[in-house]
């Protein structure tokens, strides 16, 4: 895990080829099928998780989302989001925990935003051939979380699934470019 200070007082934690234990039990899987093109790469199991804290004037955005590649069950690209109940166990070490209560889990209210962000990332960067993406790790706060941050996190996850770099400088550069 890399903890990174970004410009504009933004902070991130990024896990590459690993995802943090998010200690929640999914209440169900939401499956989406897309007719998107895959990259011509051989399947490999990859994992990534990203936690972001973004101050915006007198408020902030917060979220954590993680995913992994999974073998395809069908010819079309699978996109799976494991939704949790709205409130899971508390995440006491979250980047925004000094300002709000944060819970592990992927709230059902963010599922469509995750789908939209992942689809955008896949359209821009592709995805590894013969694999789908399963979002199974997350955390959300009572104040800073929104559809906007989870859409952005899903797109960033796809970016990092498609990248080969994992040193801190490479990760920081990718985040700065993607976040603007």
**How high is the pLDDT of residue 80?**
86
Provide the residue ranges of all domains of the chain, joining segments of one domain with +.
Answer: 2-167
CATH class of 2-167: alpha beta
Please tell me the least confidently modeled range out of 32-36, 80-84, 158-162: 32-36
Q: 48: number of CA atoms within 13 Å, CB side? A: 22
Q: Which residue has the tokens 């990259």?
A: 39
137: left (phi over 0), alpha (psi -120 to 50) or beta: beta
Q: How far is CA 34 from the centre of its chain?
A: 18
CA distance 85 to 108: 7
Please determine, for residue 7, whether its predicted confidence score (pLDDT) is greater than 50. Answer: yes
CA distance 168 to 60: 24
**How high is the pLDDT of residue 87?**
75
**How high is the pLDDT of residue 15?**
93
Check the CA dihedral 89-92-95-101 and report its sign: positive
**How high is the pLDDT of residue 41?**
47
**How high is the pLDDT of residue 88?**
80
- The phi and psi torsions of 15 (rounded to 5 degrees) equal -110, 125
- Summarize pLDDT for 138-153 with one digit per residue, the tens: 999 999 999 999 999 9
In 24-110, which ranges are continuous DSSP H helix? none
CA distance 157 to 16: 10
- Summarize pLDDT for 17-72 with one digit per residue, the tens: 888 876 555 555 556 555 545 444 455 688 999 999 999 999 999 999 999 988 77
CA distance 75 to 17: 25
**How high is the pLDDT of residue 40?**
47
Enter the DSSP assignment of 69: E
CA distance 19 to 46: 10
- Summarize pLDDT for 92-142 with one digit per residue, the tens: 999 999 999 999 999 999 999 999 999 899 888 877 667 788 998 999 999
């Amino acid at each position: 895990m890399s903890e990174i200070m970004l410009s504009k007082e933004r902070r991130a934690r990024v896990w590459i080829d690993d995802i943090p234990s998010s200690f929640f039990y999914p209440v169900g899987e939401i499956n989406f099928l897309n007719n998107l093109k895959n990259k011509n790469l051989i399947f490999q199991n990859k994992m990534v998780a990203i936690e972001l804290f973004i101050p915006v004037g007198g408020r902030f955005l917060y979220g954590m989302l993680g995913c992994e590649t999974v073998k395809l069950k069908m010819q079309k690209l699978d996109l799976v989001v494991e939704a949790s109940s709205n409130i899971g166990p508390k995440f006491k070490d979250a980047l925004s925990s000094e300002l709000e209560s944060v819970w592990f889990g992927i709230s059902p209210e963010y599922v469509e935003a995750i789908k939209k962000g992942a689809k955008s990332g896949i359209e821009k960067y592709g995805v590894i051939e013969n694999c789908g993406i399963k979002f199974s790790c997350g955390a959300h706060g009572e104040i800073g979380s929104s559809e906007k941050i989870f859409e952005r996190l899903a797109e960033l996850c796809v970016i990092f699934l498609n990248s080969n770099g994992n040193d801190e400088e490479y990760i920081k550069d990718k985040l700065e470019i993607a976040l603007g």
